[in-house]
Amino acid sequence: MSGGAGGAVAEAPVIVAARRTPIGTAQRSLAALTAPDLAAAVIADLAADLAAAPPERGVPGIGEVVLGNCTGPGGDVARVAALQAGLPDTVPGLTVDRQCASGLAAVVLAVAVLRSEPGVVLAGGVESASTAPWRFWPPADGGAPTRYERAPFAPATVGDPDMGPAADLLARDSDVSRRCQDEYAARSHARAAATQRAGGFDAEIVPVGGVARDERPRAGLSVDRLARLRPAFGPGGTVTAGNACGVNDGAALVTVVDAETHRRLGVPGLRVLATATAGVDPNRPGLGIVPAARLALDRAGLGLDQVDVVEFNEAFAGQVLACCAGLGLDPARVCPEGGALALGHPWGASGAVLAVRLFTQLVRRPGGRHGLAAIAAGGGQGVAMVVEACR
């Protein structure tokens, strides 16, 4: 790497803290908590870290809170959560929506802001599927109102499949068998259950509502047991409730600072080497990981063989396996401590959960130097980030 490039890297924003709530199954352990409730708990925890920094280090106050959210109550969830967390009313909040990639998109936005405006930004995402409001189309011709199921991911003329059927099509196109999907899902649960037993998630979790552990991981979930489940999206499909993610509640945020603030803090962190956002065919939205990851790695000047920890959002096992095939990546390298198939997929938060997971594996208990996080979104989009541990 040239001296100029090295200097640019040294001035890149740094993630200095990363936390999340436990991830709960919708209508279960976190069902009574709203999106602001979940996010505020993590914001308050990260703000307390900053407040504990010695005054002589001159760490600036929080300049902004940026949150991703998909199906929440509407309005500016980030602003509500920031105020609920006790931040001064001078701290603005911004809520962004890039569907399932919203949480990582919020982190990308924070990084972009800090490249030009020094300071501190709390960024991440939140989803409370349990408390998301129901909406209805007005009645037609005096009839009953129609339940509004979801916003469009893309125009119907282009193709706007639901994520489950789209995952079935992607698995078929990529020749990913049902057994391979079940094997991948069983491994994700086994890894997450083992990590949970060993306390590997404990340091990153902020207890909320009396809950301190992820609800979904299941030890001993065998391939044979998964094989008994029926296709979830029609006869002949290969996606089931067992090799797909759940519907979940949770929040995750990171503290991002500019390079000079990081030097004053004097703490380890993750330097953000590169980020990328890409688009793909909306009919195969799960493939968004592939071009986003490639572009982020290219911008970072790294190959996949130089990445120590890979965190992809495991929306569907078949989707992850198709993306791995597209990238020439061994699927066993993805989510080494279990991913969304086991932990859950709180839509607006999931991209930020990936950042938290990288922080734990590369900073809290150092296990390498470089990390890659990537997530796909409805409508055919992908977001990726490449980081480097700095100590």
Residues taking part in catalysis? 100, 345
- Does the pTM of the predicted model rise above 0.75? yes
pLDDT, average across residues 60-82: 96
Contact between 192 and 339 under an 8 Å Cβ cutoff? The reply is: yes
Amino acid identity of 185? Answer: A
pLDDT, average across residues 174-190: 98
pLDDT, average across residues 341-370: 96
10 contacts: CB under 8 Å, gap ≥ 6:
259
What would the two tokens of residue 281 be?
Answer: 């065919």
Amino acid identity of 317? Answer: A
Q: Domain ranges for the chain, please list them.
A: 3-134+249-265
pLDDT in tens, 314-323: 999 999 999 9
Which superfamily does 3-134+249-265 belong to?
Thiolase/Chalcone synthase (3.40.47.10)
What is the pLDDT, as a whole number, of residue 57? 87
Across all residues in the chain, what is the average pLDDT? 95
Statement: residue 4 has pLDDT above 50: no
Contact between 385 and 275 under an 8 Å Cβ cutoff? The reply is: yes
Contact between 384 and 275 under an 8 Å Cβ cutoff? The reply is: yes
Statement: residue 208 has pLDDT above 80: yes
What is the pLDDT, as a whole number, of residue 106? 98
